[in-house]
Amino acid sequence: MRFIIQENSEKVGRWTASYIAKAINRHNASSDRPFVLGLPTGSTPLPTYARLIEMCRRGEVSFRNVVTFNMDEYVGLPEDHPQSYHRFMWDNFFSHIDIRPENVNILNGNAPDPEAECEAYEQRMNELGGIDLFLGGVGNDGHIAFNEPFSSFRSRTRIKSLAWDTIVANSRFFDNNTDLVPRLALTVGVDTILDARELIILATGHSKADAVQRAVEGPLTHLHTITALQLHRHGILVCDDDAATEIKVSTYRYFKDREAPELL
Ligand code: GLP
């Protein structure tokens, strides 16, 4: 695992955007051979999206031949609901870059047959040769996408009921009213995420410190699905100083030395 510790969330965004842009540019994508990018919602990736938008405007990266797959979506929220992940992605990212709308894939939380929707989603990923790079965030309790505590490491895209902790955490976007937060979501599985050729998880702010400590130093456990990152061959965790406060000093020093700028 690589563990990158940056000073603040802004720098986490810059590091990550530059990594993603390099990966896209290296891929030499064409319409026949697109770069396949997995994406999260949440406040954590916003600085990364802002930086990628800036880079796209400056011509440093293009999304013309990038196909995206989002991690998850609430069940039952209309697509144009201000808190739907569809709306989030278009408002915060897709509307500002040169991506082709037909290359954007987001699970349909209003699909009449959610199981078939999830299967078709996995199939679309496979048809494109799998995900090249999956970017993710992490919940305060250490979940990735909506793979709540006790989600199997072998889980694939499916319907999932949200844990109470997640409902409470996400109620900040629903007038702080937990009754308004959907109880179900469609989400890629832990195994779907691990299948990606590269995986980057972002964590910023003190509320993520426990999850980061578990991800880096803790044992593998389905209680905190972030720990599955340890199983990935090219897993990268990028966090800010606030999110790194619970790790051991020796761990901090080890990764700070290993990721010294001259080694990047
Ligand atoms: C939700 C999403 C996750 C996201 C998490 C953290 O649970 N399903 O994909 O990582 O929130 O969000 P934030 O970045 O806002 O802390």
DSSP result, 7-73: SSHHHHHHHHHHHHHHHHHHHT--SSS-EEEEE--SSTTHHHHHHHHHHHHTTS---TTEEEEESEE
Q: Are strands 66-70 and 104-105 parallel, antiparallel or unpaired?
A: parallel
Tokens 């995206």 map to which residue? Answer: 68
- What is the pTM assigned to this prediction? 0.96
Ligand 1 pocket test: which of 89, 140, 143, 186 has the largest number of ligand atoms within 8 Å of its C-beta?
A: 143
Half-sphere exposure for 146 (CA within 13 Å, toward CB): 28
**Gap from CA of 8 to ligand 1 centroid (Å):** 18
Ligand 1 pocket test: which of 16, 39, 41, 192 has the largest number of ligand atoms within 8 Å of its C-beta?
A: 41
Q: State residue 259's pLDDT score.
A: 85
Contact assessment for residue 187 and residue 146, using Cβ atoms and an 8 Å cutoff: yes
CA–CA gap between residue 258 and residue 243 (Å, rounded): 19
Q: State residue 226's pLDDT score.
A: 98
> Which residues on neighbouring strands pair with residue 200, listed in sequence order?
135, 236
CA distance to 12, 53, 206, 231, per residue, from 3 (Å): 12, 25, 17, 14
Q: State residue 234's pLDDT score.
A: 92
**Gap from CA of 203 to ligand 1 centroid (Å):** 10
Q: Which atom of ligand 1 is nearest to the CA of 137?
A: 10
Q: State residue 260's pLDDT score.
A: 72
Q: Evaluate: CB of 146 within 6 angstroms of ligand 1.
A: yes
Q: State residue 262's pLDDT score.
A: 57
* pLDDT tens for the chain, residues 1 to 264: 999 999 999 999 999 999 999 999 999 999 999 999 999 999 999 999 999 999 999 999 999 999 999 999 999 999 999 999 999 999 999 999 999 999 999 999 999 999 999 999 999 999 999 999 999 999 999 999 999 999 999 999 999 999 999 999 999 999 999 999 999 999 999 999 999 999 999 999 999 999 999 999 999 999 999 999 999 999 999 999 999 999 999 999 999 998 876 555
Q: Which atom of ligand 1 is nearest to the CA of 208?
A: 16
